[in-house]
């Protein structure tokens, strides 16, 4: 996983006519980048917000998030890219916002939101690169243009946004679990969040009836035989990495309800009016 600099992202956006911002359906707000959206707007490019991984939430939840973003003035589609569901709708949305052809599409977003899967879905099985894009800085040196339709092309290098958001998102998406020096703290935060939004999340994922995150990690380690050789104590660091991986793959399942976001916005609006 190679994070782009904002300069590299600007390079990608300048060369595109349409920019897709991919967010995670389980928590679209935490995986959304206002800075990216401002950059796209300032460069006068078209933006489509793509709510991905909708196979991990009920359909009505995806519909509500779509309406929330559309009410804010953003063209929005939702899809489950790994199942190739919604690809046709996304293609149609791209053509709807394009003013002139040929047009180029770029895919951007935080790590682990499914950008590469969307790129592959748009490419299809029989696509081939048409030309390299010259003059690209840093990690985009080998960017290619792929034809994804008549007079429609895509930059095959995803724009991987430098991670913003809260401390949990920064850790979850900033590095693979194997590279985390201390995976226990983010895993504990993740388990707390999972249990808050889905009290059955741990039971369904691991068959464990427990609500204390540290005890959950111990029990996962013991169930899988992960112990320190020196004293036989449960190897909770390995259990923590497993929990983080299980969130990314959808085994540890929960989602932030759209109603919570709407309630916070109404509360914030009310306080602003009072001031």
pLDDT in tens, 154-213: 998 888 887 766 678 777 887 788 888 889 999 999 999 999 999 999 999 999 999 999
Closest-CA residue to 224 (of 205, 211, 210):
205
List helix spans (H) across the chain.
6-15, 34-42, 59-71, 87-97, 115-123, 167-174, 184-197, 201-206, 213-223, 236-249, 258-274
Q: Are 151 and 103 in contact (CB under 8 A)?
A: yes
**Residue 242, token pair as written in the block:** 């497993």
pLDDT in tens, 36-53: 999 999 999 999 999 999
Find the range with the poorest average confidence among 54-58, 66-70, 229-233, 251-255. 229-233
Cβ–Cβ contacts within 10 Å for residue 42, how many? 10
Mean pLDDT computed over 264-275: 56
> Which has more pLDDT, 12 or 271?
12
Mean pLDDT computed over 73-102: 95
What is this structure's pTM? 0.88
Closest-CA residue to 75 (of 85, 67, 83):
67
Characterize 65-87 residue by residue with b for buried, 16 or more Cβ atoms within 10 angstroms of its Cβ, and e for exposed. bbebbeeeeebbbbbbbeeeebb
For the chain, what percent of residues have pLDDT higher than 90?
Answer: 68
* Backbone torsions φ then ψ of 62, nearest 5 degrees: -60, -40
List of domains in the chain: 6-156 (3.40.50.300), 175-259 (1.10.1580)
The confidence score (pLDDT) of residue 169 equals 78
Average pLDDT score, the chain: 88
Q: How far apart are CA 100 and CA 81, in angstroms?
A: 27
Q: Is 207 left (phi over 0), alpha (psi -120 to 50) or beta?
A: left
Q: For strand 144-149 and strand 129-132, is the pairing parallel, antiparallel, or unpaired?
A: antiparallel
Beta bridge partners of 146: 129, 154
Mean pLDDT computed over 242-250: 94
């Amino acid at each position: 996983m190679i994070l782009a600099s904002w300069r590299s992202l600007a390079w990608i956006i300048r060369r595109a006519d349409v920019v897709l911002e991919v967010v995670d359906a389980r928590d679209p707000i935490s995986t959304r980048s206002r800075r990216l959206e401002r950059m796209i707007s300032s460069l006068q490019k078209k933006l489509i917000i793509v709510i991905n991984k909708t196979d991990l939430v009920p359909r009505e939840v995806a519909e509500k998030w779509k309406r929330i973003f559309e009410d804010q003035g953003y063209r929005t589609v939702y899809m489950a890219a790994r199942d190739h569901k919604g690809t046709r709708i996304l293609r149609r949305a791209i053509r709807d916002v394009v003013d002139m052809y040929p047009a180029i599409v770029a895919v951007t977003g935080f790590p682990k939101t499914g950008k590469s899967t969307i790129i592959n879905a748009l490419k299809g099985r029989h696509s081939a690169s048409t030309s390299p894009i010259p003059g690209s800085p840093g990690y985009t040196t080998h960017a290619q243009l792929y034809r994804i339709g008549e007079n429609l092309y895509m930059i095959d290098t995803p724009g991987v946004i430098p991670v913003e958001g809260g401390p949990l998102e920064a850790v979850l998406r900033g590095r693979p679990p194997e590279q985390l020096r201390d995976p226990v703290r983010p895993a504990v935060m993740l388990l707390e969040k999972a249990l808050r939004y889905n009290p059955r999340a741990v039971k369904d994922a691991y068959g464990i009836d427990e609500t204390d995150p540290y005890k959950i990690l111990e029990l996962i380690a013991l169930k899988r035989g992960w112990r320190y050789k020196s004293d036989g104590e449960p190897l909770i660091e390995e259990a923590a990495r497993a929990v983080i991986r299980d969130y990314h793959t959808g085994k540890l399942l929960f989602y932030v309800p759209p109603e919570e976001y709407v309630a916070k916005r109404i509360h914030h609006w009310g306080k602003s009016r009072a001031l």
